[in-house]
Amino acid sequence: MKFRTDPATIRGSIAPVVTPFTDEGAVDHDSLRGLIRWQLESGSHGISLGGSTGEPSAQTTAERIAALRTAVDEIGDRVPFLPGTGSHKLDETLEITAAAQELGADAALVITPYYARPTQEALYQWYATVAREFPGLPLVAYNVPSRTAVDIAPETVRRLYTDFDNFVGVKETTKDFEHFSRVLHACGRDLLVWSGIELLCLPLLALGGAGFVSAVANLAPTAVARMYELWEAGESDAARDLHYRLHPLVDLLFVETNPAPAKWVLEQQGRIASGWVRPPLTSPTEDGLARIRTLLAEGGDLTQQL
């Protein structure tokens, strides 16, 4: 929990690692440890687990907490740990967030409750409840309307940021780039904003973003981290070069539903024992694999350390 008292230090490329499963469907903790070690060796500035890329809705609460325990044990205090702890159920959200706090997470990433389509007032009350329950834990809203069917408005973020000292930021996974600007304008640029949209990661830095939680870091962690470092060093042309070189891998991620394509690649590269995804997802189809192989041939050099 080294970074918990200063959440402004949680910056750069926060890699949202997949949750590996065995061929039989159980959580593969050995592969998870290996992935985290690789991320740290590759220069990722932080680790996240349990966001959309980690298939949290297909896991039990106990499985999610056990995975958090493995991640914390592997990470230690080397980089910030920002796990996803949210659910569509408040009791599960509170239980997983409590476990994350106890285990030593530096902040909690709490998704907007999905399927129910709550109003903005209901979203405010949801996050306010979590914030009051864990006053010593920095909280980050996870806004991903393409998966949850609800979009947390800039004004709602502003209310939460104003009312709760431990509400520190938002992960914006929306292709509406104007939304990023309006959130920062409403709250001020001390609000921590990370992009969850791969091709908006670099542009967000120009607005004052804190970094990104980008699924492509599962395949090219060094390149994604280096893109942030180059921008921060004022080497914008080199950062843009990496941004465009990452395009094929970004397209690869979404040939079929994320994280199935990424897991297939990680299995082929020997980084996880199995590319299994849990229902309702399926492993890539033959047509999908053909497209994945083509894109991997175009951008696969970035899957190696630079």
Which residues does the annotation mark as catalytic? Answer: 142, 171
Across the chain, the runs of DSSP E, i.e. the strands, are: 12-17, 46-49, 108-111, 139-143, 167-172, 192-195, 211-212
How far apart CA 160 and CA 147 sit, in angstroms, is 22
Between the CA of residue 52 and those of 148, 219, 257, what are the distances in Å? 10, 16, 11
The three-class DSSP label of residue 151 is coil
Who's near 5: CB < 8 A, 6+ residues apart? none
Please check whether residue 52 is in contact with residue 144, taking contact to mean a CB–CB distance below 8 angstroms: yes
In the chain, the N- to C-terminal Cα span, in Å, equals 30
Residue 9 CB burial class (10 angstroms; 0-12, 13-18, ≥19): middle
How many C-beta atoms surround the C-beta of residue 166 within 10 A? 18
Is 213 annotated among the ligand-binding residues?
A: yes
Binding-site annotation, residues for pyruvate: 53, 213
Binding-site annotation, residues: 53, 213
